[in-house]
Amino acid sequence: MRKSVDKVNSQGAAPADEVMDLVHTLMHQFRSLQYQVLRGGPHDITHMESKVMGFFARHPGATQSDLVQHSGRDKAQLARLIKSLRERGLVLAEADEADRRNVRLSLSPEGQAVQRTLHQQARRLGTQAVAGFSEDERRALVELLRRVKSNLDVG
């Protein structure tokens, strides 16, 4: 596939805009390649679905309320995502023994397999992204990106 160049939106761009546009483009390219590994299979998931699954992978037995508090996302949006993941067999729900009104969520074995696949693909892509970089160049890039992040941290 031929790469296109957006000449309309990049003409006269300020240097700071160029940096942020490139960071944005890189993340979209990375995510597209990461999720490509699932396309054509039984579980073509979105980035947000992956984020939800990642939370329950790290916090098995957490509740939807825990996810809302952690993410700051809209409760209704997360409820729809969780419902879809449950219907597809990627997330399991179990009533809380201490309080039957609470539902504890965790990844199913199939959901764990999807998460492993995405994690492995991310590691491969990360390695590919810095191929040919010296250790000093890689460290310098990380330091520069940390400075960009720090400059944007509110607080």
Partners of 94 in the β-ladder:
104
Confidence of residue 9 (pLDDT cuts 50, 70, 90): low
pLDDT at position 91 over 90: yes
Tell me the mean pLDDT in the region 5-33.
80
Confidence of residue 107 (pLDDT cuts 50, 70, 90): very high
Closest CA to 130 of 121, 141, 143: 141
Q: Where are the alpha helices (DSSP H) in the chain?
A: 7-10, 15-36, 47-58, 64-71, 75-87, 109-129, 135-152
pLDDT at res. 64: 93
pLDDT at res. 140: 97
- Say if residues 10 and 21 touch (Cβ distance below 8 Å): yes
pLDDT at position 4 over 60: no
**Who's near 130: CB < 8 A, 6+ residues apart?**
138, 141
Helix axes 135-152, 15-36, angle to 10 degrees: 110
What pTM value is reported for the model? Answer: 0.78
More confident residue, 21 or 39: 21
Tell me the mean pLDDT in the region 87-116.
92
Domains annotated for the chain, with CATH where assigned, are 43-120 (1.10.10.10)
Confidence of residue 90 (pLDDT cuts 50, 70, 90): very high
pLDDT at res. 135: 96
